Structure 1
Amino acid sequence: MTRGAYSFVRTFAPQPARDLCPDRHYLLCASAGTLRLEAQGQAWLLPPARAALIEAGRPIRVSIPRPATTASVLFDTGFAPTPPAPLTVFDLDPLARELLAGCRTWGESDEPLTAYAEALFAALAAVTWRLARQPSPVVVPAGRSPELRRALALTEQRLGDGVLFEDVAAEVGLAPRSLARRFEEEAGMTWRAVLRRMRVVAAIEELAAGDAPVTDIAFAVGYASLSAFNAAFKELTGRTPTEYRASFRP
């Protein structure tokens, strides 16, 4: 009989997207590097400051853009209650990160958990289930139609190159008005709003990856001024880039 909960700690080289459907409630997060998660027509980036809580049996797609170390936990459906939502991405607080670190000792095994370990996993579930009630707003659409998915990919590839909506529309073979309608219908927001979120997501990835100056990151993701970048970043995440980076550093 497997444990009611166990920690999954492993270091990965960059990997393309692969589909998963965990049979347990899955707390997916990284202790180093970043993970990319796609599900339900949306996409998220998971640096060490953020986690995803996924209900058992929910299909997801995960990719690893850079070397990363997971710090995830899987909960048996009899050990932890059903999550507040089928999938939620949220910011981890210091208590949740400490509990995650404490659970690393107990990996997948047929040995039962000690009373202490069981209490630790139960506390982690209680804290993260509560945090999952406040989803993070840093999410971008994944798109349903081939045209919109292509438009999203092109936009992401050219964040720092002065990407223009008209050029993206031409490359996917749609008139700008038709592509704008696709964004409204499939993404629920304008292309410019998606672009803004993509730039913040790309900045989060760079903030998690190393110690590059914030100014360099701002220019790399397409902002012409540090003040505009800071304002956009704080409006979406509630923190400045420097504060956000500090939130997932020891």
Structure 2
Amino acid sequence: MLTTTEFLVELENIDSRPETMFVQQHSEENYPLHQHQKTQLVYVRSGVAYLITPSKTYFLPARHYVLVPPRLAHRVLFHSPQHIITGLCFAEARDTDHPFFGKLGIYPVTDLLYEMLRYTESWYGHYGPEQYEAYLFLLNLKLVLPRISHHPLPLALPTTEDPRLVPVLRYIYEHIGELLELSGLARHFGFSPRSLSRLFQECLSISFGQYLKLRRMMAAMELMLKTRQTISEIAYAVGYNSLASFSNTFYKLVGQRPSQFAAREQ
């Protein structure tokens, strides 16, 4: 793992040669928000991670990759002690306005992409046209992405730095398995229910109820990847007393049943 100083030096190095592909094999944990001039692919090889941007937090499970468009500030935060990522920064190619490469997306890693990424595991540094075979391989990897990546993971949690709401969101995260109601939270933090409801809309552009559902689904997905708990145990652990209610909410937000997601991630 690089120190923050070493990471910032590498960040400058990546963008110093617009014509090259850059391959890196390390974690971005605890590094500050940063951006690249190039489109970046970050592949989580193991562990559970979150992609943080100035406005949202995205769930990033193992065996998925995130496509980060040029000049989008981001950082990766891991909630597991063991993690490995592969980062590919593609040569600059006016990707900002491209319908696929111009927007952030989190996608499952197909068998084809898994083998291609595995082939690069020993690579590090710049690969330009002068390294013809490696450069062509990485270019083809990039070009195949829109053809194999059709179903982005939909969960994104709005974030804020508003000091009035930050402790409330932290409390929700730390007590996700408990009964959490707007009136009780408002009373605990010295708000009226109406004021706290307005604060959620003002800072996050979603309601308290919507935020709580998203937070609970992210917690559930993390438990599916990190533990051997049953779906019923996980539902209870994230605050649901009804397995049917949990399953239906999960399906509406994620697009598949909890059992389907858990089976695919084994």
Question: Which of the five TM-score ranges fits, normalised by the shorter chain?
Answer: 0.7 to 0.9
Aligned counterpart, 1:200: 217
Aligned counterpart, 2:229: 212
Deviation at 1:223, TM superposition (A): 1.3
Question: How many angstroms apart in 2 are the aligned matches of 1:105 and 1:246?
Answer: 30
Aligned counterpart, 2:154: 137
Instruction: Mark the structure with the bigger radius of gyration.
Output: 2
Aligned counterpart, 2:135: 118
SS in 1 for 2:104: strand
Question: How many angstroms apart in 1 are the aligned matches of 2:151 and 2:172?
Answer: 28
Match of 1:188 among 202, 205, 209: 205
Normalized per residue, which structure has more strand?
1
Matched AA of 1:46: L
Whether contact under 8 Å (1:138, 1:197) holds in the other structure is yes
Aligned counterpart, 1:5: 21
Q: Decide whether aligned partners of structure 1 residues 10 and 210 sit closer, same or farther in structure 2, where only a CA change above 3 A counts.
A: farther
Whether contact under 8 Å (1:29, 1:47) holds in the other structure is no
Per chain length, whose mean CA-contact separation is higher, i.e. which structure has more relative contact order (CA < 8 Å, sep 6+)?
Answer: 1
Structure 1 segments unaligned to the other structure (5+ residues): none
Question: How many angstroms apart in 1 are the aligned matches of 2:141 and 2:33?
Answer: 26
Whether contact under 8 Å (2:20, 2:127) holds in the other structure is no
Question: How many angstroms apart in 1 are the aligned matches of 2:68 and 2:149?
Answer: 10
SS in 1 for 2:105: strand
Question: How many angstroms apart in 2 are the aligned matches of 1:48 and 1:116?
Answer: 28
* TM-score computed with the length of structure 2 as normaliser: 0.79
Q: Quote the RMSD (CA, aligned, Å).
A: 2.9
Match of 2:46 among 32, 48, 60: 32
Match of 2:58 among 44, 60, 79: 44
Question: How many angstroms apart in 2 are the aligned matches of 1:238 and 1:46?
Answer: 16
SS in 2 for 1:161: coil
Question: Could you give the per-residue CA deviations for residues 65-107 of structure 1, whole angstroms, max 9, x where no partner exists?
Answer: 21211122222315x8345465513222413333322332322
Question: How many angstroms apart in 1 are the aligned matches of 2:87 and 2:47?
Answer: 13
Aligned counterpart, 2:95: 81
Matched AA of 2:59: L
* TM-score computed with the length of structure 1 as normaliser: 0.83
Q: Which moved more, 1:67-76 or 1:109-118?
A: 109-118
Match of 1:72 among 81, 87, 92: 87
Match of 2:106 among 84, 90, 95: 90
Whether contact under 8 Å (2:23, 2:89) holds in the other structure is yes
Question: How many angstroms apart in 2 are the aligned matches of 1:56 and 1:151?
Answer: 32
Q: Which moved more, 1:80-89 or 1:176-185?
A: 80-89
Whether contact under 8 Å (1:92, 1:131) holds in the other structure is no
Matched AA of 1:223: Y
Match of 1:19 among 33, 51, 65: 33
Question: How many angstroms apart in 2 are the aligned matches of 1:115 and 1:212?
Answer: 48
Question: How many angstroms apart in 1 are the aligned matches of 2:253 and 2:23?
Answer: 31
Deviation at 1:170, TM superposition (A): 2.9
Question: Could you give the per-residue CA deviations for residues 34-54 of structure 1, whole angstroms, max 9, x where no partner exists?
Answer: 121221411111012433222
**Equivalent residues, number:** 246
Q: Which moved more, 1:152-161 or 1:119-128?
A: 119-128
Question: How many angstroms apart in 1 are the aligned matches of 2:227 and 2:26?
Answer: 20
Whether contact under 8 Å (1:91, 1:131) holds in the other structure is no
Question: How many angstroms apart in 2 are the aligned matches of 1:175 and 1:130?
Answer: 50
Aligned counterpart, 2:195: 178
Whether contact under 8 Å (2:70, 2:95) holds in the other structure is no
Q: Which moved more, 1:88-97 or 1:34-43?
A: 88-97
